[in-house]
Structure 1
């Protein structure tokens, strides 16, 4: 008997070791392969981002006001849901990792980022994905019938297609994906009072029925909540082309279904995500239609106003509705704020407006006139943005010394986990460089922060001595893999150099054109401070070796390649802490 007990203890111990080893191997695999640490890896000891737009200086807040957009920088395609007093909002993240940032609020004014929905490699594979591919247009919906939250999206990477993940508590993480058996993009879930569920999404017309370029349809499927899968054979086209197909409307997309007073409402974006973007609404007695467009469409757009206007907001659309804490409806949506050259460097941002639904159809209040930078807060709400852990907006300064136990959620990787290349140490943030550079469509060893203002500075202190001409560390300003500036330290012969390179990808075709704009020999007896700054379209790259006075390396350069309308794609400019063992910049 004693021998049996002894053997049982041994078997239990072995099983426990196997289980622990399995958990360990899963976590390492999930974080991605860690490169071998360089003999003296670059260490970034501090970052200061300071935004100082004249718009906010000219429009100070009164006690009962808050700024719009609520999320500045590249936070596009917002979707929102509510459970009780809790609101949750998600945005597109494309090839950024982790994917789908998620925010929480109690009042629709003060927002806290609580993490990312897709924060594991098992959920999201974007390792070989162009920056504007990956995760598009997430929808988030709370199902009161089973007390579960769902996030549904299209993942243009890793062979994922349309996927859904779910959770009982968004604060505690999300499931691995359920892969859905339909094509198309921009899916959204709707849960009816009778327990039935539906998916609506954008799709191509039936084969042979496409009438013009940009002709799309909205399709609906019944959804099996038990199996987390669409019910085959239930699909139906509920909108063909848009509000009026005789006018050849383009890109009807981003659909959301709602139910109010026994009627079903389908709200969609129409006109493409640029200058003709808008939001339109339809109504029906059934979730499967027929849907009748509102006579007053569009219910939100900024397309009808003079190109040159003060405090310009443009491209408004891609919206979602929610009932607010004051029993009034609100809509979140994307829009852009172009700079003086009408370029879009801060990307598509998340805005909010109150919605008047006192009549048959909803309409965005002041969504059909030029939008203002400030809004009145819901009654009884206090503006705490930038305080007590709430996300800042307006003008602000964000300082990061990398001393906290957990890295702030605003910092992201590209095509793979941050943990694969970075480590927070007592000396600062240590980056172990990959053998890939910023121009490759692969995971890069770069930690990114979104540009959130027209006028800003992004400053960091770097401790680093490159060992060879293949080593480089510094900062980048990046719109995509072929449109960026690299500002960093490298080596040539026995000397250290600071270099500034411009990478330009003409209309995203052919070879990337790389040009060294400036280089200078540097004495690296101590740390170096690097600064990226901009005033609208004018960017500068400067450095300091004495901790006080900065020297501009190459005068003023254009921010054109950091703009969506020049570089293409759907993201805003990203500012990054960058290191590589595959440097190809040769100092002049």
Structure 2
């Protein structure tokens, strides 16, 4: 029996994906902004079942700066090494590389410094020449909707020229916000796959030229049409060992972030045709049959020796913030911004795109505040707060409920359709709903996150025991 898949194949905020194949293995990475660790590396054998195997950036951003940091990356394999190029709009075009995708990766290296340089993609040509194409962020550079190509040193140490404007989409009727270019070569022609029109209503275009410097002709190859998949664009083209072609792209789903879809792709009359005659498909046969089931980790029993690869901090963590001990996660109630959206010491993971119930056990030792948070532009949490000799269960505007000091309380959240959150707690009489429902919201170009936090003057400690994500809901 032929195994089938249903979109999205990654139903959470795996933003701005790029994908490659090396042998029988597929690898994917995504943007992570100022989260640490960043640039997760996902692995698959069939383009449908994915697991996280590591991160390419493990340090870097000391402060929470929404919408800054690591923007859309490109992943490539060249000369026996894996390469990721990404734009930091406040720094320039950066690259990291590794012999093994699990790491270690090199420290970020700036290939071209400058403001507003985003979405870079390299290409090493057969004649030994190397190139990098990139877009522009209007917020920093004052321009966008255009793509610039540079000659690049083959070792990716620097660009070698001032750059050539190869596509000015201001001259193309109906185009706006052309960005996210991916550069390829096929049958002697050069191809730039690039989205336009914005993340919520846009489309995927491809550009073709006989010379890498153009002139390029364009064609729209994927758009919403009569489907429910808004803004299908920005991703990567990849083929299977048997020679079939596929395109992975994102769809913006608000508080769920940018979920990843898989589209069949064929070549007709010298141009790619994606999905079903240029519209996204809902389901289809798994590209490589016989692969083992898998999905990115969500639950964590904190058995160590390290945090699960699904976790990241909102910015560079201090080792004193946390400890894994005896199957528990211990977070120090450290000082920091009162507003959790500005606080580096929030440990988070992506909000699942399907309804689910999340639970964890929490004990608060000493003074402070700690709990389970759902965080985007806005946030709400369920947790414990202790001042002096009084501990209370808190959740939004709910009247605080006294809890005996040292009591372990289960706190949780039921995530319903549309990312409506109902918080839960069990203080000894069973799991019950607490507080008012909360509508999860997206962040700046990211979906909401499920987070754990502990805040205070540094004297208290929050002890979390087993973080569980269960698909569907529990009563």
- Tell me the TM-score normalized by structure 2: 0.88
- Find the counterpart in structure 2 of residue 279 from structure 1: 204
Q: How many pairs align? A: 454
Name the CA distance, whole Å, in 2 between partners of 1:569 and 1:266.
Answer: 27
CA offsets 1:72-114 (integer angstroms, 9 cap, x no match): 2111100112222232210011121101111122332332211
Change (3 A) 1:383 1:68: farther
- Find the counterpart in structure 2 of residue 474 from structure 1: 371
1:495 to 390, 394, 406: 390
**Residue 266 of structure 1, CA deviation:** 1.2
1:5-404 maps to which residues of 2 (within 5 A)? Answer: 64-119=3-58, 121=59, 124=60, 126-143=61-78, 146-156=79-89, 160-183=91-114, 184-203=117-136, 216-226=145-155, 228-233=157-162, 235-241=163-169, 245-247=172-174, 249-274=175-200, 276-294=201-219, 297=220, 299-302=221-224, 304-305=225-226, 312-337=228-253, 344-366=254-276, 368-369=278-279, 371-372=281-282, 374-378=283-287, 381-386=289-294, 390-391=295-296, 399-404=299-304
Name the CA distance, whole Å, in 2 between partners of 1:534 and 1:203.
Answer: 37
**Residue 142 of structure 1, CA deviation:** 1.3
For structure 2, the 5+ residue unaligned runs are 459-475
Mapped pair 1:574 → 2:452: no
Q: Is the 8 A contact 1:418 1:447 kept in 2?
A: no
**Residue 437 of structure 1, CA deviation:** 4.0
Name the CA distance, whole Å, in 2 between partners of 1:525 and 1:415.
Answer: 30
Change (3 A) 1:326 1:563: farther
- Find the counterpart in structure 2 of residue 33 from structure 1: none
- Tell me the TM-score normalized by structure 1: 0.72
Name the CA distance, whole Å, in 2 between partners of 1:149 and 1:383.
Answer: 23
**Residue 419 of structure 1, CA deviation:** 4.3
Mapped pair 1:523 → 2:404: yes
Name the CA distance, whole Å, in 1 between partners of 2:229 and 2:134.
Answer: 27
CA offsets 1:161-201 (integer angstroms, 9 cap, x no match): 32111122222321112212254211111111111111101
Structure whose CA Rg is larger: 1
Q: Is the 8 A contact 2:136 2:144 kept in 1?
A: no
The structure where strand makes up a greater share of residues is 2
CA offsets 1:480-502 (integer angstroms, 9 cap, x no match): 4xx1113221135642211123x
Change (3 A) 1:367 1:422: farther
Change (3 A) 1:551 1:104: closer
Name the CA distance, whole Å, in 2 between partners of 1:573 and 1:348.
Answer: 11
1:377-526 maps to which residues of 2 (within 5 A)? Answer: 377-378=286-287, 381-386=289-294, 390-391=295-296, 399-417=299-317, 419-437=319-337, 439=339, 443-467=343-367, 471-480=368-377, 483-492=378-387, 494-501=389-396, 516-524=397-405, 526=407
The structure where helix makes up a greater share of residues is 1
Name the CA distance, whole Å, in 2 between partners of 1:63 and 1:522.
Answer: 54
**Residue 369 of structure 1, CA deviation:** 3.3
Poorly superposed stretches of 4+, deviation over 4 Å: 440-443
Name the CA distance, whole Å, in 2 between partners of 1:460 and 1:98.
Answer: 23
- Find the counterpart in structure 2 of residue 44 from structure 1: none
- Greater length-normalized contact order (CA 8 Å, ≥ 6 residues apart): 1
**Residue 301 of structure 1, CA deviation:** 1.7
**Residue 378 of structure 1, CA deviation:** 2.3
**Residue 431 of structure 1, CA deviation:** 1.0
Name the CA distance, whole Å, in 1 between partners of 2:432 and 2:45.
Answer: 46
Name the CA distance, whole Å, in 2 between partners of 1:196 and 1:279.
Answer: 28
Counterpart secondary structure, 1:345: helix
Counterpart secondary structure, 2:102: helix
Name the CA distance, whole Å, in 1 between partners of 2:338 and 2:445.
Answer: 18
Counterpart secondary structure, 2:279: coil
CA offsets 1:535-583 (integer angstroms, 9 cap, x no match): 124321121022x61232224x241xx323xxx5211111111101169
Name the CA distance, whole Å, in 2 between partners of 1:216 and 1:544.
Answer: 52
Q: Is the 8 A contact 1:127 1:442 kept in 2?
A: no
Name the CA distance, whole Å, in 2 between partners of 1:399 and 1:181.
Answer: 39
Counterpart secondary structure, 1:189: strand
**Residue 367 of structure 1, CA deviation:** 6.8
**Residue 268 of structure 1, CA deviation:** 0.6
2:426 to 544, 547, 552: 544
Change (3 A) 1:574 1:127: same
